[in-house]
Chain A
Amino acid sequence: MLPLYRLESVTRRYSERLALEIPKLVIEEGGIHSLSGPNGSGKSTLLGILAFLSPPTSGALYYDGKRVEWKERSLVALRREVTLLHQSPYLFEGSVHANLAFGLKIRGMRGEQKRGRIAESLETVGLGGFEHRKAGALSGGESQRVAFARALALAPRVLLLDEPLANVDRESAEVIRAVIAGLPARGTTVIMTTHDPDGTGRLPGEVLHLEEGRLCRARDEGCDGGDGKNGAAADDHV
């Protein structure tokens, strides 16, 4: 498999606090990659970097073999390949259709093709016919699924999911889990986080563990302290 992301000496600081410190990490294209770890371990920070939304404080990020330039013009093109679904996704005001149409319109999709994609995405998450519902009137689980459909509609090359199974009812969790499992076959690489390592247990793919911003190969192994000697240290391939 081809390396999709490569991180070299990446750190992210919030004021004085070091939120993330990854000496080296390679994420290969395809499959499902899970990041587990407790709250505050840096999972969401890492997703923000992989989504090209927030730059690392230091270090280099390579995507598809090219070093990412944190400049607006190049980032827009990258963000159209990679979509992040936040843990508590925000739905825009208006209808479900308007929410799903936003990213498609930006990509120049119009008319029947756009409507077809929206209907198909909603069907995929079990919300067929929800197009004209008001986003603000949906239940928590429905909102999560609409946000998921909004990301799916864009057919991204990489889908980053921040705790997609948290805060949803059992039915929504089952639907989302099933859709995630089928994404690699559709050509989408999935990178998802969970604070509950068992939450990914029913999904295929490798699991990486983060503790206090440092990467470990597994929960019970030591974490890398930046010297490249422990755990997922020097050349971690996922």
Chain B
Amino acid sequence: MDYLVESLKVSLSLILALEPELCQAVWTSLYVSAWSVVLASLLGIPVGLAVGLTEFPLKRSVITLLNSLMAVPTVLIGLLVYGFVSRQGPFGGLGLLFTPAAIIIGDALLAAPIVANLALGSVRGANTAILPTAMTLGGSRFQSVLKLLSEIRFGMMAAVISGFGRVVSEVGVAMMLGGNILGSTRTMTTVIALETSKGEFALGIALGLILMAVALAVNIVFQFLQRR
């Protein structure tokens, strides 16, 4: 118990001292998570809207597929993207492996089904009168869908935040595609995994605390926007 308490004390001192290695890991995590969730939203929100607003054959199967994709293990996505960006892969020449860009691609693929599913849920839960109302007031289909998006914006924000929560806390993709390189691809979660394996709890606990603070801050901002 003393050992854990001591580790906690050291971790707090690391946070207060703004330890460079810690700051670098926090920055890398936030950077790759933000970009990956942007890409995931650009992919997932249109998919959620399209599936929610149109009728087509096999729609039920597509929804089942989207649901299943949410449960794909991170290491499987890591493996898949690794196959594409490794030297022998079709995109090997781009030199993406073990760069933040590779983590961003993997994390975007991880978050996209989550964003798409939650966006779809928002669309299906929206008042069915929104689109006809916007259209009968003169809106084109596109303008009416934009109005719908505005009406269900909190559902969409929740989808994006869930995607962010997924990627900022994952370790499989970051480890396999980033390689946990100090000062380049080392993220909060990969540092926690590394330090724990070395028996060094302090830095891991410090990053764990920061990870929780980030999650809390994102949710506080979301609640604040909802109240406005």
Residues of chain A at the chain B interface (Cβ within 8 Å):
48, 51, 53, 72, 76, 79-80, 82-84, 86, 88-90, 92-93, 102-103, 106-107, 150-151, 154
Contacts and interface: CB of A to CB of B under 8 A. Distances in A.
A53 B136 contact: yes
A72 B134 contact: no
A164 to B, nearest CB: 14
Contact of A106 (B129, B130, B137): B137
Interface string B132-150: 1111111111010001001
Interface band, chain B: 10 to 19
A84 B127 CA distance: 17
Given A92-B147, A92-B151, A76 B138 contact: yes
17 contacts: A48-B132, A51-B136, A53-B135, A76-B138, A76-B140, A79-B136, A79-B138, A82-B136, A84-B132, A86-B132, A86-B133, A90-B127, A92-B150, A102-B137, A103-B137, A103-B139, A151-B137
A88 B129 contact: yes
Interface of B: 127, 129-130, 132-141, 143, 147, 150-151
Contact of B133 (A82, A89, A93): A89
B137 A154 contact: yes
A102 B140 contact: no
Contacts of A86: 129, 132-133
A72 B139 CA distance: 11
Given A72-B140, A86-B132, A92-B133, 20 more contacts: A53-B136, A76-B138, A76-B139, A79-B136, A79-B138, A82-B136, A84-B136, A86-B129, A88-B129, A90-B129, A90-B130, A92-B130, A92-B147, A92-B150, A93-B151, A102-B147, A106-B143, A107-B138, A151-B137, A154-B137
Nearest to A53: B132
Nearest to A86: B129
Contacts of B135: 53, 79
B58 to A, nearest CB: 19
Contacts of A154: 137-138
Contacts of A72: 140-141
Contacts of B137: 83, 102-103, 106, 150-151, 154
Contacts of B141: 72, 76
Contacts of A53: 132, 135-136
